[in-house]
Chain A
Amino acid sequence: MPGLDRREVETSFDQFVAARYAALLRSATLLCGDHHDAEDLVQGALVKAVGVWQRIGDDPEPYVRRIMVNDNISRWRRHKGRVVVREDVPDRAADGPDSDTRLDLEAALAGLAPRQRTVVVLRYFEDLTERQTADLMGTSVGTVKSQAREALTRLRTLVPGLTVDEGVPARVAR
């Protein structure tokens, strides 16, 4: 947004926040699994984006989302020594989609590695393509494919009856 004065840049930022805050918060809730962490994540990303708004203001959302993705993974790494992820997820769920003991998808998502969880959110909630997901995460399409495959395998294990409107790539035995 070259040529704009400070007031105009700030107005552009405010307009973006007003229009996209709720959508960003929905994504962040899925990425974090916690509403308060999600608010922190979105606000942190927006605050960071201010410093480069002059440069990204024409299309700021990919940049903001990328900060969210990276910050969320960093946050998870900082806390992983204190937060037990796997042990609170039962090994095996009971039969039937409506069983009381069935694992909730939220608990199953909490059992995923952060990159796997991010891939699931971007691919199956945001409906991004594998290429778009890879670009946003700063990784390769191959990584996205493998992370999605492992994540779906684990989700299907933990949430019986879960369906995904997409086939899992064929695998080859060793």
Chain B
Amino acid sequence: MSTDLRERLADIADRSGGAPPPPDLWQRGVHRRRRTRVVQALAAAVVVGVVALVLPPPATTPDRPAPVDSRPRGPAIPDRLVTPPTRLDGTGGDPFGPLAVVAGAGRASGFLGTDTSNGWVGVSAATGEYRFLDLPSRVDPGAEVPFLHDEVVLSPDGRSVAYWLDHPDDPGRVGGWAAYDSVTGDAVEHRVRSDLGLAPGLLTWSKDDELVVGYGVVTERGGSGWSSTSAPLTIWDVTSPDDPRELPRSFIDASWIVPTRAGFAGFVDGDVVRWSRGRTQPDYQRPVTGQGDNASEGTISPAGDRLVMVEQLGTGMAERLLVGEIGPAGTTLEPLPLDVEVFDVVGWADDEHVVVRGVLGGSAAILSVDVRTGEHRLLVREERENWVGRPQYATDLWSQPTVSRPEPEAPPPWWLYGAGAAVLGLGVLGARRWRRAGA
């Protein structure tokens, strides 16, 4: 049997059989159209009536005190992520503090809120509350912009959210980047002048207020694509946004970069490269062996002395972790005995425990893995559907236990209140007419 996805899909589709279409589809369509018109008229009347019955009085004092929420209030990552309702509140001008998680999620849009667009939801580190992030001047999420890497990223301390800005001439093109402060609600922007916009590349935090940014400047756009020139990787300090600096050129071809305590490190053409802040050259560039041909991504411990990579076990196969100490002569990676599958590295809880995304019980989960023994511990269950961007965590919080948080609840749609007001108006009108008739 073929192992090619396309051929296997065609095999399944072939089982649909050759049943002929029923001959009455047109008539059914005509009847449906008539029914729909009648039902729409009736439904409008029924909705108005029902709303009048179910809308609660505008009481401001609850009948009984709210139950005391005994859940922890300190900053922490929730032990469970769920699919947020599309009609969650947005942050607007009301920031809600440091975040534990940000993740792409469908957000209600359109006049009635029945359409869905790509939004980014934030989860409060203090309370677990979910809200959509209103990121000022964020590039149009429906734009034809190829994001090869995560397009919105959360800082290690959960306070800042980095994202790509729109272009002044076209909200669908990238014009720079910004950092949104989840405490003040302000965004610090850095715009790059370009006629046709930027080709977004790497966007990752190297410390709480410092971004590493990779991008190209688009030089030509056509029907089938675009071409661009690449700029060196840039270090951008949120506290001095007008003074971006170029990263040492050793990093220009880095396939990934992660923060360390002293600076950051990356993986460049089969070598591990480490750099400390304030230096003009990397601390070292050392060869890595044992990663095979399919080690796709990885991470380096906060102390900068241990390398972990994710290896794909052949084309289309599952993935596993490789671990190695970074010594003077380089690193030799060895497979870590591990009885769960992993497919992402997410961060570190400490220098001995790497945090990964894997599969547990058939669903995605975040696990802490001891890189010395392979023992793992469940941190977060990602019970999510229809997320449009993988969750990003405030990695500083991995050093603390995850906690139980309440599930998000969405407010009723605005038009329900509108319908209620309409019912009230009709009721008043009816009452006045009745009184006049009686008079």
Contacts and interface: CB of A to CB of B under 8 A. Distances in A.
B19 A39 contact: yes
Interface in B336-372: 341, 343-347, 359-363
Given A47-B29, A146-B388, A172-B202, A105 B345 contact: no
A53 B6 CA distance: 32
Interface string B360-402: 1111000000000000000000000110111011010000000
A8 B145 CA distance: 43
A105 B5 CA distance: 9
B67 to A, nearest CB: 26
Interface residues of B, number: 76
Given A105-B8, A142-B145, A50 B30 contact: yes
B26 A106 contact: no
A49 B395 CA distance: 50
B347 A174 contact: yes
B4 A160 contact: no
Given A10-B26, A48-B29, A30 B12 contact: yes
Interface string A73-93: 000000000000011011110
Interface string A14-56: 1001100110011111100001001100010011111101000
Nearest to A113: B385
Query: A97, A124, A143 — which one has the most chain B CB atoms within 10 A of its CB?
Result: A143
A173 B26 contact: no
A142 B8 contact: no
Contacts, number: 198
B386 A113 contact: yes
A62 interface: no
B16 A139 contact: no
Contacts of B153: 174
Given A164-B316, A170-B149, A174-B346, A22 B15 contact: no
Contacts of B116: 138-139
B146 interface: yes
Interface string A106-121: 1001010111000011
Given A139-B142, A143-B118, 12 more contacts: A17-B25, A46-B25, A50-B29, A105-B9, A106-B12, A115-B385, A115-B386, A140-B142, A142-B151, A161-B3, A171-B149, A172-B202
12 contacts: A17-B21, A21-B20, A25-B19, A26-B13, A35-B15, A92-B341, A127-B6, A139-B388, A157-B359, A165-B4, A171-B297, A174-B345
